[in-house]
Amino acid sequence: MKKRRGFSFIEVLIGMVILQIALLSFFLINQSSSSQSMDAYYEFLANSLGNEVIEFVQGMGYEWAVKYLDKPDLFPLGEWHGVLEKPIFAATSYFRECDSFERLINMQKVSSSGDGILVNIEIRVKSGNKVKSWLSRGELAFSTIVMEKPAR
């Protein structure tokens, strides 16, 4: 009698089980990787939006900041606002995803052997936005002091 050759049902079954276990693991790893990537991406984006304010205020200088305290016309102070609703630069210069974020900017005078304006910035994802599921940190905070550079 000739010996039967081929895959037995058992073999295929075991193979499928192993494959399923592996695929499940890969799926979980992949999900974690994706989550990490997206978290990093949005954190980077949020970080850029925070630093944007710092760089802008530092660039404009102390005198401007003092005046801005009295007349905040570019972005509101002390209230959450959508980044692209009150953009510092032209809205087209931002990534589309920036629209998912909102910013809170506070400025106050500080003094100690020199005068400065303390700028606090908080960034968070807008309520109900899908990015919320990607960004692990609820809020990002940034601070700087734009300092008077007395020439006299």
Partner 1 sequence: MTRPEKPIKTGAPLQLPPGNRSGVVFYIVLSVVTLMGIFILFYHSFSKQLAFSSFYHVNREKLRNLTEIIIDSAFSNLQHATRDPRHELTKKFAEQMRTATLGNAPFDLTAPLFEANRAALLNGATLKYSLSGRIFDKRTETPQSQKYYIGEGLGTLEILVDASLETPSGQVLARCQRRRHFDFKSACLVSNFKKRENSYAMTFPLDFALLVRNGLREFQEGYRGQSLNCGQKLVIQDQSSIPAAKRGLVYFGRANENNEARRIYLNTTDKSDSSALWPELPVEQFTVNQEECLKLIPELNVEGIDQVTGIRGVFTFKRCPAARTTGNPPPHEKEARNILSAVPGSPDRVLEQLPAGISFAGPTDKNYFDTFLRGGMNQRWLYVVHFALDASAARAGGENIPAEGKTMLEEAANFVCYSPEADRFKDDQAADMQKRRELFKRLEKLAERTNPPLPLYSDMVEDYPHYQGQQMKKAEVTETFKEPPKFFGRDSSPLSEITVTGSEGFRPFRHYTLCAARYFYASDLEKNGIYDKKNGILNLRGVVSVELEHVTLNPPTGRDHIIVRGAGAILAPNGFTINCGLKRENPERDLCILFTRKGNIRIGTSARIEASLLAFNDSNTGSIVPSKPMDILGAVGVDQLFLSRFPTTPGKIEFDPKLKTDSDNDEIFTLTVSPWVRYEDITFSKE
Kindly list the residues in this chain that would bind partner 1 in the complex (CB under 8 A). Answer: 2, 4-8, 11-12, 14-15, 18-19, 22-23, 26, 29-30, 32-34, 36-37, 39-41, 43-44, 47, 51, 54, 58, 110-116, 118, 120, 141-145, 147-152
Q: Among residues 33 and 133, whose Cβ is nearest to partner 1?
A: 33
Q: Among residues 92 and 113, whose Cβ is nearest to partner 1?
A: 113
- Closest to 107 (Cα-Cα) out of 58, 149, 48: 58
Q: Among residues 6 and 128, whose Cβ is nearest to partner 1?
A: 6
CB of 115 to partner 1, least distance (A): 8
CB of 135 to partner 1, least distance (A): 11
Q: What single-letter amino acid sits at 104? A: L
- For residue 24, count CB atoms less than 10 angstroms from its CB and return exposed for 0-12, middle for 13-18, buried for 19 or more: exposed
Q: Among residues 133 and 143, whose Cβ is nearest to partner 1?
A: 143
- Closest to 139 (Cα-Cα) out of 48, 55, 34, 46: 46
Q: Among residues 16 and 74, whose Cβ is nearest to partner 1?
A: 16
CB of 98 to partner 1, least distance (A): 16
CB of 75 to partner 1, least distance (A): 19
CB of 2 to partner 1, least distance (A): 8
- For residue 57, count CB atoms less than 10 angstroms from its CB and return exposed for 0-12, middle for 13-18, buried for 19 or more: buried
- Closest to 141 (Cα-Cα) out of 63, 53, 73: 53
Sequence-distant (6+) residues with CB within 8 A of 116 are 62, 109, 110, 145, 146, 147, 148
